[in-house]
Structure 1
């Protein structure tokens, strides 16, 4: 057998020597991350709950990461524009998404989406938790939930409830309330919480299930009545508002949460560092106070797998409920 020519031996030696360089380079990149600003896509418009939370979060996270965090609002299509912004970005750990779990548990049930909610989105860390509040117009002749149920029963077909989107949690919570309380309040759907709240305060629709961050200012100013909160416990921002469980409706306690999400394929070491820094800043007393003032609670330290499982279970419950009312998605 003829020996390899000298140039071939040199090329082969160079190839062999270069093999270990790839994992070493990747590991070094993950260890040095971040070396430039990190983008947080918010799947909501400026001024909303998610946007406020993102700016609190971005400000606090700059110190432990040593880089600025840029809040990039990509609102529209029930949050799916933000999802596509995440999925179209490089998987290098410099783009994350901040949005509610409804992006996987609710949105795909009410509209056609081009992403797989449980394969294309990875919940990295839970930021906040909240429950919906049943609020009503100031002129309602009911001082508490018991009187409200009596009033609805005495006025069949005349009491409706607004919601921030057909098929979404604010809609299906009303369906559950109807069944459990034995009432027949009708659903009136809006494109978002602000226009729905305006109609409730204006007296056009008497009731609504809404998130605390958007309804809290109006409850405090007496422009809305708060009857009960669908959450496992009372919240510090509204200590006098009872839970539905306290009032005899233990099944009305769906917990919604806001999370930081990643696309699959981002280096695990980068995700681990981002998650660690996120959980740390969310536990600071200053951040906790700001979150409580918004009517929410700091999220748990649940793992990515636990969050994904909770979202899937929520999706199954939501889907079952929508099928029971023959809901047809857009």
Structure 2
């Protein structure tokens, strides 16, 4: 009888503790947000991720009635921003705005201190984007076939720049060389701006770059487009073909930006952020601003669908890095 009473008391105490914990969790979700939100951006201020984060901040502020602070944490391929989220994001007041490459590419190219498919959760897409092969305006080619033919006449081939060693801008150039049997030598930079400066200055003839940073320079005639890795042509560059239509579907590897949280953020908060994000980016005025950046509006893919997409992209990227014998830095 005494043992029975002890077990019963233990069970009652456990239920009280569980009830208290659940009550605290419900209260936290009800009170959210109880202070200004932070959107941590894993890229420099003024870039595409920063611009998208500010668009998202507008929607969150309108719907939640709280200030939203956008903070740039560039460096280490986005790892510094992830570390910030890991340290401060448990209550859902700190969120991350970054490309899907943070789990599909960065851990393959750099040594990271997080588990990409366990420690991060994409709540919603913000935009879909991709890369474009651009050339110095003086390079005597105007399309991909001409580029292939011209490169074969150059002793030692041609150099190409990328915004980061080991990332998709790097592996896309190496893959193009393999598929077309031309010699392309990689020159890695720390970000798009210095690489584009050298491209315009003629120090490197080619670059795989993000559309957002290249598009203004294309429109002003400072560099010229060759092909995009989107599945279809983009509205801002209707005359620029896709690699897929040129016969190289292996290079059709477009990506996306999203808003992320820690996976242990209360589900109700995750869902609220997702709903606000998707509703805001469905607005015609917001879609127009996204397209002006050279991107497409987001899909309504679920977190599970987004992660499945990233796992496939990670497998493809790993195979490419292995083919060029790349070792993480």
1:36 corresponds to: 35
Partners of 1:143 and 1:44 in 2: how far apart?
Answer: 31
2:126 corresponds in structure 1 to: 127
Structure 1 residue 17 displacement after superposition = 7.3
Q: What SS is found at the alignment partner of 2:249? A: coil
Structure 2 residues not aligned, in runs of 5+: 3-11
Instruction: Indicate whether 1:269 and 2:247 are aligned.
Output: no
Matches within 5 A, 1:12-31: 20-31=19-30
Cα separation, 2, equivalents of 1:184 and 1:15: 67
Identify the range of structure 1 (23-32 vs 43-52) with the bigger mean alpha-carbon deviation: 23-32
Counterparts in 2 of 1:211 and 1:21: CA distance versus 1, 3 Å = same
TM-score, scaled relative to structure 2: 0.93
> Residue deviations 1:267-290, cap 9 Å, x none?
111111111111110111111000
The question of whether the paired residues in 1 share the 8 Å contact of 2:280 and 2:286 is answered with: yes
1:83 has 2:92 as partner: no
- Give the number of equivalent residue pairs: 321
1:204 aligns with 2:214: no
Measure the CA separation in 2 of the matches of 1:90 and 1:203: 44
Q: 2-side partners of 1:324 and 1:184: how far apart?
A: 15
Which structure has the larger Rg?
A: 1
Query: Post-superposition shift, 1:90?
Result: 4.7
Residue 109 of structure 2 aligns with which residue?
A: 110
Alignment check: 8 A CA contact 2:41 2:70 kept = yes
Q: Distance in 2 between matches of 1:48 and 1:17?
A: 50
Q: Would you say the 8 A contact 1:65–1:277 is kept in 2?
A: no
Aligned residue in 2 for 1:319? 318
CA distance in 2, matches of 1:193, 1:38: 28
Q: In the aligned structure 2, how far is the partner of 1:19 from the partner of 1:128?
A: 40
Residue pair 1:156, 1:184 contacting (<8 A) in 2 also: no
What is the alpha-carbon distance in structure 2 between the residues aligned to residue 52 and residue 24 of structure 1? 38
Which secondary structure state, in structure 1, belongs to the residue aligned with residue 69 of structure 2?
strand
Deviation at 1:27, TM superposition (A): 2.0
Task: Measure how far apart 1:14 and its partner are.
Answer: 10
Question: What does 1:73-222 align with in structure 2 at a 5 Å threshold?
Answer: 73-222=72-221
Q: Aligned partners of 1:57, 1:245: CA distance in 2, in Å?
A: 31
Match of 2:308 in 1: 309
Runs of 4 or more, structure 1, over 3 Å off, are: 13-22
Cα drift, residue 102 of structure 1: 1.1
Post-superposition offset of 1:185: 1.4
Structure 1 range deviating more: 30-39 or 213-222: 30-39
Do the aligned residues in 2 keep the contact of 1:125 with 1:278 (CA within 8 Å)?
yes
Shift of 1:19: 6.3
